[in-house]
Amino acid sequence: MPDISRFALGLRARLAGAVRQHPVLSIALALQLTTAVALGAVWQTKIRHSGDLNDYRDLLVDDPGGSSGATVKVTSLGTTMMLVDDGTTQILIDAFITPAGLLDAALGRPVSTDPDSVDTALDKVGADRVRAIFISHSHHDHALDVAYIAHRTGATVHGSPSTLNIARGGNVPEDRLALLDPEKSVTVGSFTVRTIASKHSPNPMGGEGATIDKPLLQPAPISAYKEGGTYDFLVAAPETSMLFKGSANWIPGALAGVHADALFLGIGGLGRAEQSFSKDFLDATIGTVQPAIVIPTHWNDLFCPVHEGLPLQRKLIDNTPAAFDTVLARTKADGVDIGLLEAFASITIH
Ligand SMILES: [Zn+2]
């Protein structure tokens, strides 16, 4: 008999003996082992990050060259939050820095803006001339920190009725709340910002179209941050333009006639979408807007603090490498540049 078989038989006999002598202890041990194996399987298939950013290192851009009227610097703060700076005026797109953990979300624990995290991040990117904050929709990963940032910067909050209720809950004065209006462009310094009605990416959990109907006070569970309508922002500077699309979906025809030099494209959920959906989405965005460069956004693990870097989204939420590969194939086919921004990295748009 091979040694390994003899060892297995011996182990089985010893285990059987242990169960006979200590039945309760053995059952407890078996339960613990089963739980550990189950947790291990959940970690591998659901919670683990869906890929490694190192595999996409060639796409990383960090060009803090600065802004000078003709150029605009855009700096990432993770997820879809971007600081847009023409050297005089700054605009923020979305407002989410506070690390709200996976457990907070899973257990429905109430969360609040963490001033230290927000201050550290805004200091790091030199956000000291922010005049306006535009929020693409009012889920927590776009709008959690809007009230605190409005207070800190003195900026006006531009958002849906739901987003304005998040700001009201944080006591932002009414004269600094502006309702998004797709019919009217907004001038901020030398920027002109046009709001374009859009649609949230398909959410398996539902909740599309839900609204926040009264001031939302913190702390509040993540689930209290209802979508409240989804919008894209076309930010035009005198010599360049950028389209910020926070969520991977679209209203047919909404981007007809829209051109932008840079497309900040929210790809959250795209890694799990049907191929036909991805193709139609990229036709409606890259194919229509025809940018010189695409900067994918909303690909990082939104439960990981931004100052710890940007790991890819967890398997539970998305298959980020698949989303990257889909967008990469499209930009290659169209002869369009592509760049990824790590946390606090910048790109200069010409
Ligand atoms: Zn959302």
Query: In which band, very low, low, confident or very high, does the pLDDT at 50 lie, cut at 50, 70 and 90?
Result: confident
Give the full edge-to-edge strand order of the sheet including 293-297: 186-188, 191-198, 230-237, 240-245, 262-266, 293-297, 337-338
Distance 303 CA to ligand 1 centre (A): 14
Spatial separation of the C-alpha atoms in residues 140 and 12, rounded to whole Å: 52
Number of structural domains found in the chain: 2
- The number of helices, as runs of H, and strands, as runs of E, in the chain is 10, 16
Structure tokens at 222: 């993540």
Distance 319 CA to ligand 1 centre (A): 17
Distance 4 CA to ligand 1 centre (A): 54
Distance 130 CA to ligand 1 centre (A): 24
- Do residues 247 and 111 share a domain? yes
Distance 94 CA to ligand 1 centre (A): 11
- Do residues 19 and 154 share a domain? no
- Do residues 109 and 172 share a domain? yes
**151 contacts: CB under 8 Å, gap ≥ 6:** 170, 171, 172
- Do residues 163 and 249 share a domain? yes
Q: Compute the mean pLDDT over every residue in the chain, rounded to the nearest whole number.
A: 90
Distance 146 CA to ligand 1 centre (A): 15
Distance 17 CA to ligand 1 centre (A): 56
- Do residues 85 and 180 share a domain? yes
- Do residues 17 and 118 share a domain? no
pLDDT digits (tens, 9 = 90+) for 205-264: 677 889 999 999 999 999 999 999 999 999 999 999 999 999 999 999 999 999 999 999
Distance 139 CA to ligand 1 centre (A): 5
Query: In which band, very low, low, confident or very high, does the pLDDT at 15 lie, cut at 50, 70 and 90?
Result: low
- Do residues 204 and 71 share a domain? yes
- Do residues 34 and 85 share a domain? no
- Do residues 55 and 180 share a domain? yes
Distance 58 CA to ligand 1 centre (A): 28
pLDDT value at residue 19: 58
Beta strand 186-188 with 177-179 is: unpaired
Residue 31 belongs to what domain range? 3-44
pTM over 0.85: yes
- Do residues 163 and 295 share a domain? yes
Q: In this structure, are residues 227 and 165 in contact, taking their beta carbons and an 8 Å threshold?
A: no
CATH code at position 244: 3.60.15.10
